């Protein structure tokens, strides 16, 4: 959904000084309709972006979109969970040996922990990235919430599972 107007039951108004957008990513979809298997924990489930925009005219809008990574799009295309590296087992039946091999070929691209804004103050010049513990980020268009690209450090730079994704 994109820019769906929100209304308040009590008719209260949002303060006029509150303007801009708040975007948060997090786990969302645990399965696809055509199969019984599902991710056993939310850390493995597919990520979604949710955005609330407080407009200058006093209106409040909601947008939401799944983070459409290459692996997520493969699942949508097949209407089922396709093998990739996951944070936990699938239930009721985990990956078989062949699916494990296929999963390692597709790696992990589910950036469901935090969204960062990097760069200049001007939102038009900034870069927005969705991250997790895995050394890959997905670049996000803050208006449409679409994935516009991704970045994975080259293996020649070394391998690290360290990140700044989680806040304490």
| The overall pTM is greater than 0.85 | yes
Contact 74, 102 (CB under 8 A): no
* pLDDT band, residue 167 (cuts 50/70/90): low
pLDDT of residue 168: 44
Contact 70, 108 (CB under 8 A): no
- Residue 125 CB neighbours (<10 A): 8
Burial 77-116 (b: 16+ CB within 10 A, else e): eeeebbbbbbbeebeeeebeeebeeebeeeebbbbbbbbe
| Residue pLDDT, tens place only, 35-55 | 899 999 888 889 999 999 999
| Residue pLDDT, tens place only, 102-147 | 999 998 898 888 899 999 988 889 999 998 888 889 999 999 999 9
Give the 3-state DSSP-derived string for 42-68, with helices as H, strands as E and coil as C.
Answer: CCCCEEEEEEEEECCCCCEEEEEEECC
Within 19-147, residue ranges assigned H as helices are: 70-78, 97-106
pLDDT of residue 162: 55
> Taking residues 79-102, what's their average pLDDT?
94
């Amino acid at each position: 959904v994109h820019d769906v107007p929100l209304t308040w039951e009590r008719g209260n108004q949002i303060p006029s000084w509150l303007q801009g957008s708040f975007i948060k990513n997090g786990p969302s979809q645990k399965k696809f309709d055509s199969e019984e298997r599902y991710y056993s924990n939310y850390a493995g489930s597919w990520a979604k972006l949710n955005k609330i925009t407080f407009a200058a005219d006093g209106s409040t809008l909601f947008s939401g979109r799944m983070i459409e990574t290459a692996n997520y799009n493969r699942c949508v295309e097949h209407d089922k969970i396709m093998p990739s590296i996951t944070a936990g087992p699938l239930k009721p039946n985990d990956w078989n040996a062949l699916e494990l091999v296929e999963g390692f070929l597709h790696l992990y691209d589910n950036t469901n922990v935090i969204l960062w804004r990097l760069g200049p103050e001007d939102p038009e010049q900034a870069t927005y990235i969705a991250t997790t513990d895995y050394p890959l980020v997905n670049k996000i268009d803050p208006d449409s919430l679409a994935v516009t690209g991704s970045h994975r450090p080259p293996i020649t730079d070394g391998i690290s599972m360290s990140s700044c994704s989680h806040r304490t």
